[in-house]
Amino acid sequence: MDPLYVKVDPRDNVAIVANPGGLAPGDSFPDGLTLREGIPQAHKVTLTCIPAGAPILRYGQIIGIATKSFSPGEWVREDFLTLPPPPPLDHLPLATAVPPAPEPLTGYTFEGFLNPDGSAGTKNILGITTTVQCVAPTVEYAVRRIQAELLPRFPHVDDAVAITHSYGCGVAIDAPGARIPIATLGHISRHANIAGSPLVVSLGCEKLQPARLLPADPAFPVFDPDQDLIRLQDERGFAETVAAILRAAERRLGQLNQRRRTTLPASRLIVGLQCGGSDAFSGVTANPAVGFASDLLVRAGATVLFGEVTEVRDAIHLLTPRCATPDVARALIREMQWYDEYLASGAADRAANTTPGNKRGGLSNIVEKALGSIAKSGRSPIAAVASHGQKVTSPGLVFAASPASDFICGTQQLASMNMHIFTTGEGSPYGLALVPVIKVSSRSALAEKWPDLIDFDSGRIATGQATIESTGWDLFHFILDIASGRKKTWADHWGLHNPLAPFNPGPVT
Ligand code: CA
């Protein structure tokens, strides 16, 4: 292909090289700009003279200050710009540019499993939850037996899943921070895709007792310890324990096997968005396409979650004006403040976010990464803010605070979501057992290199072969197909399911 760069905003003085394999010194773009040096794909080229000390602009925003003078056609390496300070939190505009209420989008449906509490499943799974890490290998052993010996007799059940994690004991269970992992695991243990009704395996002596994990809640099927709980320290050895789990599983499989998909409005979807292994294309291809699909979902009445605090912190001044009310904006700022303090307590700040892979992919720093990351949130008003561990049930675009770490963010969003969208530039085989994870690539080169891992390619936006709008619509339809079980993600095809990693900011004992 001919030399091509992607400039996001008319104010920008840098653009990114679109060509796979990068460009060589002397290569010229159609507008006459000629490269003074070779530049890899996704890395930044200067479009104008930039004196030392001048701002470097991408997305129309300052992503750093030039540490040297540039001529047009030079490569802006990460060392050639300084990291600006984060936007101060005390004078942000509150709900000053709220987008108009989006025009409703009607008539879109998916085939899902309706639960008594009104939630919708996108899978029909036997979930066996655990109160503590000690029992995880035992439950995983039992689940392998269930999958081999019992599941074939229950064709309407998609899978049996061990809901295992690293939490449950050796922690300060009453410390304020403990609320987050306990609430997250409690919500996951009553997930819509397991009909809100888990079997529970406990050790017996752990701090996270079953009643604390699953407090009585009239919205969910009654948790009957006599039927639904197996305590290992009450059983006579390993074989007896496994036999007890299999007996309980067989009874529950008989109930789950009665469930059928029915036609449900798209408003029953709760879609979690996150990115991982981002590159400089993420903010111009995958994330804007996801943002467009997010706006369609919001218009259809669905719930869309975005989080990843360290990846919105530097773009917070672009988000608080979009909040539906000043109170929502203040809640968003509170989540930024909380995370600033959390990072400071560990002698770190938001700059600790970027990875070597982000930098290889052309992202110079966290400011540039954040400006690309927030494109996932589309253009809808931010209707509500949820704190870490809180379950989201209200419709619209919701900021649900989470770390940016892929497996922790995914675990936290799993407390609420029944669909997950994951954008990536560098690539990740990430997946979750309980919900479908659609992996969207920012570059076609990645989709071509990983045809059996990437579900959806948005890279053609960079080369002008597709638009954000058309790609967003395609993704919206793909989400409905996956949610309905008509199509399967690659992660589910291969069974690539990452362990849960609840966020525990509390002390360990
Ligand atoms: Ca992430």
Determine the distance separating the centroid of ligand 1 and the alpha carbon of 181, expressed in angstroms.
18
Q: How many A from CA of 377 to the centre of ligand 1? A: 14
Ligand 1 geometric centre to CA of 277 (Å): 8
- The domain boundary residue, chosen from 229, 256, 283: 256
CA of 312 from ligand 1 middle (Å) equals 11
Separation of CA 349 and ligand 1 centre (Å): 16
CA distance 359 to 444: 19
Q: Residue 347 falls within a domain, yes or no? A: yes
Sign of CA dihedral 102, 104, 105, 108: positive
Residue 102 included in any domain:
no
DSSP state of 155: T
Q: What is the 366 CA–ligand 1 centroid distance (Å)?
A: 13
The CA 272 to ligand 1 mean position distance, Å, reads: 11
Q: How far is the CA of 423 from the centre of ligand 1 (A)?
A: 9
Residues 125 and 207 in one domain: yes
Each of the 509 residues of the chain gets a pLDDT tens digit; together they read 899 999 999 999 999 999 989 999 999 999 999 999 999 999 999 999 999 999 999 999 999 999 999 999 999 999 999 999 999 999 999 999 999 988 999 999 999 999 999 999 999 999 999 999 999 999 999 999 999 999 999 999 999 999 999 999 999 999 999 999 999 999 999 999 999 999 999 999 999 999 999 999 988 888 888 899 999 999 999 999 999 999 999 999 999 999 999 999 999 999 999 999 999 999 999 999 999 999 999 999 999 999 999 999 999 999 999 999 999 999 999 999 999 999 999 999 988 888 999 999 999 999 999 999 999 999 999 999 999 999 998 999 999 999 999 999 999 999 999 999 999 999 999 999 999 999 999 999 999 999 999 999 999 999 889 999 999 999 999 999 999 999 999 999 999 999 999 999 999 99
251 plus 276 within the same structural domain: no
The answer on 126 and 33 residing in a single domain is no
* Pair 320, 451 in one domain: yes
DSSP H/E element including 440: strand 437-441
User: Is 372 found in the same domain as 316?
Assistant: yes
Residue 365, domain member (yes or no): yes
Taking the centre of ligand 1 as the mean of its atom positions, its distance from the CA of residue 378, in whole angstroms, is 17
In-domain check, residue 125: yes
**Which of 85, 101, 132 delimits the end of a domain?**
85
CATH code, domain with 1 = 2.30.130.110
Q: Quick one: pLDDT at residue 165?
A: 97
CA 388 to ligand 1 center in whole angstroms: 15
Co-location of 248 and 281 in the same domain = no
Q: Which residue has the tokens 């305590």?
A: 231
Q: What's the confidence (pLDDT) of residue 102?
A: 85
Q: How far is the CA of 356 from the centre of ligand 1 (A)?
A: 15
Q: Tell me if 22 is assigned to some domain.
A: yes
For residue 438, the CA-to-ligand 1 centroid distance in Å is: 14
CA angle at 49 for the pair 288 and 82, rounded to the nearest 5°: 65
pLDDT at 93: 98
pLDDT value of position 395:
97
Chain length of the chain = 509
Question: 405 CA distance to ligand 1 centroid (A)?
Answer: 5
Domain span including residue 135: 112-256
Report the alpha-carbon distance of residue 180 to residue 173 in Å, rounded: 11
Q: What 8-state DSSP symbol labels residue 117?
A: T
275 and 385 co-located in one domain: yes
Ligand 1 centroid vs 316 CA: distance in angstroms?
17
Looking at the domain assignment, is residue 325 inside a domain? yes
Q: 275 alpha carbon to ligand 1 midpoint, in Å?
A: 5
Quick one: tokens of 440?
Answer: 């969207």
In a domain, 124, yes or no: yes
- For residue 110, give the 3-state DSSP assignment: strand
Q: Are 152 and 247 in a shared domain?
A: yes
**273 C-alpha vs ligand 1 centroid, how far in Å?**
9
Round to whole Å and give the CA distance between 9 and 57: 9
* pTM for the model: 0.96
Report pLDDT for 222.
Answer: 85
Q: Does residue 406 lie in a domain region? A: yes
Instruction: Identify whether residues 139 and 27 lie together within a single domain.
Output: no
Strand order across the beta sheet in which 199-202 lies? 159-163, 125-130, 199-202, 229-231
Q: Are residues 136 and 252 both part of a single domain?
A: yes
Question: How far apart are the CA of 309 and the centre of ligand 1, in A?
Answer: 10
Q: Measure Cα distances from 460 to 86, 287, 289 in Å.
A: 33, 13, 11
- Is the CB of residue 331 less than 8 Å from the CB of residue 394? no
289 and 238 co-located in one domain:
no
Q: Are 406 and 414 in contact (CB under 8 A)?
A: no
Strand partners, 396: 303
Residue 353 has a pLDDT of: 87
Name 406's bridge partners: none
Would you state the pLDDT for residue 212? 96
CA 234–ligand 1 middle distance (angstroms)? 40
- Split into its structural domains, the chain has a count of 3
Say how many Å lie between the CA of residue 361 and the centre of ligand 1.
Answer: 15
Q: Find the 222 Cα to ligand 1 centroid distance in Å.
A: 35
Query: Are 30 and 172 in a shared domain?
Result: no
> Residue 1 has what pLDDT?
86
What distance in angstroms lies between residue 266's CA and the mean position of ligand 1's atoms? 25
- How do 120-121 and 109-114 pair as beta strands? antiparallel
